[in-house]
Amino acid sequence: MAVESRSVNAKSSSLTPVAIGSLLITLALLILPFVCRLNGKPHADWQQFLGRFHPTIVHLPIGLILLVPLLEIAGRLRPSLREAAGFVLALSVFACLGAVALGYLLAYGSGESGSLVVLHMWGGIALTIGVLCCVGVRPQWASGRVQGFARRLYPGLLLCVVLVLAWTAHEGGSLTHGANYLTEYLPSTLKRWPFADSTQANASTTPGSFYARHIHPILDANCVACHGEGKAKGGLRVDTYAQLMKGGQDGAVIIAGQPDKSILLQRITLPADHKNFMPAEGKPPLKPSQIAWIRAWIQQGASPTVASLAGIVLPEDAKETPLPQVEDYSSKMAEIAQAASAEGITMTPVSSNLKDGLILNTVNVASKFDDASLARLDKFAPYIVEAELGRTAVTDASFETLAKFHHLRALHLEGTATTGNGLAKLRGLTELTYINLSGTRVTSAAVPALGEIKSLKHVYLYNTPAQPIANQPEAQAAAPKAP
């Protein structure tokens, strides 16, 4: 009897083929990122070809893993469903391995790197290892032969797997839609929490500079998805001026004063079907005016602070109209700083040339800034060229004060309670070219008033009652087309 007992114990304590396989797979997954490092350098085309199936297969392990806890719970009533849970859990292992393999081929083959790519990679690895652990401990839990902590181990592991799945899926979504996809339209009160702050300061640039007005918006709209903080193909990031000038695996992409030797300009002027054409991944080519701006900016020294370019011949559609100058407010600097501190806002010079004006920014106070707050700033109206009032408490009454901002060029009112009643008061703002009313209560009745502001070039009415009519052909004559 003693010999038989020792034989049984030895058998139960030995590693099963499943356990050995799980350990080997876990070891391989942990070693892989160090053997094949994501260094931002592209590799074989076949790796990219196979890797592009990753977005297709990645939904399979998500569905299987989420199905497991549902089957386990339902299995209390129908034991057959609990048996199905074990089968689905085993399938999810193979699905996870396939998704991780294809995802790694995609990142390694195309030369993707960056914090989001790395986090998403480790999330997929952690998820796969977690599922393997669940497969290993589930048989003992399902048999009912364990009690106490051992009995709670499998449900705890399963919960952790679901949480890791949610986090990994979020990182993957951020790679596709951008790091601030979920937080972009958060209510202002929630945006104050640290987790919601996804903005990155670009301290080396000057607000209102040629780079800030033209070059960065072009790169942000067309290039950051592949060359940003979270995802940096070829080791290149263009989301900030410093990163742009740093370059990538192929070296500097901007050579100040030498546009024809700058890799960035070379890539955006290649034929659209060329392998190295940028923007990549099926995005449309840049407009001739955008290319002309980039070329002229590089030729003038690729400065982050110069307000405008001089002595450069640009195509007609790329020429800039000289910006009107505001009065010199140097004698009022102390008063402006005191007023800004009292309201909790900032009034920042556009450039070192004070005649370029001020930018009014209310992001630090958001919903606390109202019509009365704006009215208290009317003495500085002649110097403000951009007013960022998005998600504040201003209403239609603000138009009375804004009508005094005679040099106003850009007005942000997105997420406010305005209905557009009183927009006609802004018809005297002959320099106003941009107004953002997205997420407001602006109605179709306000569209004709927008048409009276002759200088307007960019009007945003997304997610407003006026959006349908603003997109109709008959309304386009009354106001600029809203995206």
E strands, 165-261, are: none
**DSSP 8-state symbol, 251:** B
Q: What is the pLDDT of residues 232-262, one digit of tens each?
A: 777 788 888 888 888 887 788 899 889 889 9
pLDDT confidence tier of residue 2, bands split at 50, 70 and 90: very low
Percentage of residues of the chain with pLDDT beyond 90: 34
pLDDT confidence tier of residue 313, bands split at 50, 70 and 90: low
> Which carries the bigger pLDDT value, residue 433 or residue 194?
433
Rounded distance, CA 110 to CA 226, Å? Answer: 11
Fold topology of 330-476: 3.80.10
pLDDT confidence tier of residue 109, bands split at 50, 70 and 90: confident
pLDDT of residue 208: 64
pLDDT confidence tier of residue 199, bands split at 50, 70 and 90: very low
Q: What is the pLDDT of residues 320-342, one digit of tens each?
A: 566 788 998 989 999 999 999 99
Rounded distance, CA 261 to CA 241, Å? Answer: 19
Report if pTM > 0.85: no
Mean pLDDT of all residues belonging to the chain: 82
pLDDT of residue 311: 57
pLDDT of residue 178: 59
**Phi then psi dihedrals of residue 274, to 5 deg:** -75, 145
CB 259 within 8 A of CB 299: yes
pLDDT of residue 219: 85
pLDDT confidence tier of residue 315, bands split at 50, 70 and 90: low
pLDDT of residue 282: 67
Other beta carbons within 10 angstroms of residue 107's beta carbon come to 26
DSSP string covering 152-171, please? HHHHHHHHHHHHHHHHHHHH
**CA–CA–CA angle 104, 113, 221 (5° rounding):** 115
Is the pLDDT at 363 greater than 70? The verdict is yes
CB 96 within 8 A of CB 127: yes
- Sequence spans of domains, the chain: 15-177, 210-311, 330-476
Rounded distance, CA 22 to CA 132, Å? Answer: 6
CB 407 within 8 A of CB 387: no
How far, in whole angstroms, is CA 477 from its chain's centroid? Answer: 34
The kind and range of the H/E element at 262 are none
Rounded distance, CA 256 to CA 266, Å? Answer: 14
Rounded distance, CA 246 to CA 250, Å? Answer: 11
Is the pLDDT at 194 greater than 60? The verdict is no
pLDDT confidence tier of residue 13, bands split at 50, 70 and 90: very low
pLDDT confidence tier of residue 353, bands split at 50, 70 and 90: confident
Percentage of residues of the chain with pLDDT beyond 70: 83
> Which carries the bigger pLDDT value, residue 199 or residue 377?
377
> Which carries the bigger pLDDT value, residue 147 or residue 426?
426
pLDDT of residue 481: 41
Three-class SS of residue 201? coil
Which residues, 6+ apart, have CB-to-CB distance to 208 below 8 Å?
Answer: 307, 350, 351, 356, 357, 359, 385, 386
Q: What is the pLDDT of residues 44-78, one digit of tens each?
A: 889 889 988 998 899 999 999 999 999 999 988 88
Cα–Cα nearest to 102, from 60, 63, 58: 58
Q: What is the pLDDT of residues 268-312, one digit of tens each?
A: 888 888 878 888 766 778 888 888 888 888 988 888 887 777 655
Is the pLDDT at 474 greater than 50? The verdict is no
pLDDT confidence tier of residue 355, bands split at 50, 70 and 90: confident
Q: What is the pLDDT of residues 166-192, one digit of tens each?
A: 999 888 877 776 555 565 555 555 544
Rama region for 216: left / alpha / beta (φ>0; ψ in -120 to 50; rest)? alpha
The kind and range of the H/E element at 386 are strand 384-388
Amino acid at 171: E
For residues 109-131, give the mean pLDDT: 87
Query: Is the alpha carbon torsion for 169, 62, 15, 20 positive or negative?
Result: negative
Report residue 267 as tokens: 């890539």
pLDDT of residue 182: 61
| For helices 17-35 and 115-143, angle between their N-to-C axes, nearest 10 degrees | 170
pLDDT confidence tier of residue 156, bands split at 50, 70 and 90: very high
